[in-house]
Amino acid sequence: MKKFLFFASCILIFASACGGGDSASSEDQKVIDALADVVMADEEFPGTADDAKCIAETHVSILGAAYIQENNLTDSATFDDWDPAEAELPRNDFKNLFKETIGCVEKGIQAVLGEDADLEGLSEESVECLATQIVNDDVLDAIYDAGIIGEEPPEEFFFSLFEDCPSFLVDSLVEGAGLDQESAECFADKVSYESFIFAIEASSLPEDEMPEGATAVIAEFFAAAVECGVDLANFG
C-alpha cells in the first residue's frame, strides 16, 4: 500500500479536497482512527494528519470496516504490503479507492518529492495533463487488469498517455534533445505521435535491423527538421 499511496499523491499538482460524507458509526470511527495512525506513521507519507484521516475515511467508506479488520490493515506491516491492484477488489471499488485517495493528498509535486527532486524539465501543463489522464477510467482499468494478472500494462498503453499530453513531448525535446522551446513545439507539431513512438521502439533494435516503415518515418523527421531548423544530430 505504501507504493500506492506514494504514487497516488505524486501524480497531482492540485488535488481535490476530500469530500465529506455521512458521519461514521462509533465502530467505524475506531477503524478510521487506527488506520489514519498507520498511514501517518509511515515516514515516507508526504501528507498531513488531515490527509491521513481522509485516506482512512476513504478506505472505510469504500472497503468497509469489516474488510479492513479481516485483512488486518490497521497493522503497519500488513498495510504496507497490501496492494489494492493485487487484492482482487471489485473493479469499481479499486477505481474509486484510487481516485479518492489521490483527492485526499493536497500537496504539490515538489512538496511530495522533496526539494532535491529535479522537476526543471517538466512543465506545469504536462503534470496537470498527466494528473487528469491517470485517473480516467481507461487508465485505471489497465492498472486494475495488470494487477489481477500479475503483469505490467503494455508499453504501448503508457505511450498513449503522451499522445493525450503533447506538452510532454515538447518538454522531452527541450530537456533531452536540447532544443529551444519554439523549435521543440514546431518539431512536435510536424512529426506525428505514431512516428515518435516508432522511432522510440526502433531505437532498441540492432543497428543493422531496419523495421518496416522506417524509410517513411526518417523522411518525416528530416522534413520536420528542415522546416523547424532542427539538427537531427541532437537526437543521438
Q: Are residues 47 and 112 in the same domain?
A: yes
164 & 116 share domain: no
Q: What is the DSSP track for 91-107?
A: HHHHHHHHHHHHHH---
pLDDT of residue 109: 42
Residue 139 maps to a domain:
no
142 occurs within a structural domain? no
**Same domain, yes or no: 13 and 115:** yes
Residues 159 and 85 in one domain: no
For residues 224 and 170, membership in a common domain is answered with: yes
Give the residue among 169, 227, 171 at the shortest CA–CA distance from 196.
Answer: 169
Question: Which residue type does 79 have?
Answer: F
* CA–CA separation, 179 and 74 (whole Å): 50
Of 68, 101, 120, which closes a domain?
120
pLDDT of residue 2: 52
Residue 73: per-residue pLDDT: 94
Same domain, 6 and 81: yes
Residues 116 and 163 placed together within one structural domain of the fold: no
For residues 88 and 175, state if they share a domain.
Answer: no
Q: Within a domain: residue 178? A: yes
Domain end among 96, 120, 144: 120
Half-sphere exposure of 129 (CA within 13 A, CB side): 16
Same domain, 91 and 37: yes
Residue 135 resides in a domain: no
- Per-residue pLDDT tens digits of the chain, which is 236 residues long: 655 554 554 443 333 334 445 567 888 999 999 999 999 998 877 778 998 999 999 999 999 999 999 999 999 999 988 988 889 899 999 999 988 887 787 544 433 343 444 445 678 787 777 767 777 888 788 888 888 666 666 666 667 767 888 888 898 888 888 899 999 999 999 998 888 888 877 777 776 777 788 889 889 999 999 999 998 887 75
Specify whether 65 is located in the same domain as 174: no
Q: Which of residues 120, 138, 173 is at a domain's end? A: 120
Instruction: List the domain range (segments joined by +) for residue 212.
Output: 154-235
Q: Work out whether the CA dihedral 99, 155, 109, 79 comes out positive or negative.
A: positive
> What DSSP character marks residue 199?
H
Burial of 209 (0-12, 13-18, 19+ CB in 10 A): exposed
**What amino acid is encoded at 44 in this protein?**
E
**What is the predicted pLDDT for the residue at 152?**
63
Q: What is the pLDDT of residue 116?
A: 43
Within its chain, how far is the Cα of 37 from the centroid?
Answer: 26
Q: How many domains does the chain have?
A: 2
Q: What is the pLDDT of residue 158?
A: 65
Looking at the structure, tell me whether residues 178 and 97 fall in a common domain. no
Tell the burial category of 21 from Cβ atoms under 10 Å away from its Cβ (0-12, 13-18, 19+). Answer: exposed
Inter-residue contact 56 to 33 (CB < 8 Å): yes
Its sign, for the CA torsion 184, 189, 191, 194, is positive
188 falls within a domain: yes
Task: Flag whether the pTM goes above 0.75.
Answer: no
What was the pLDDT predicted at 182? 94
Residues 109 and 45 in one domain: yes
Asked if residue 166 belongs to a domain, the reply is: yes
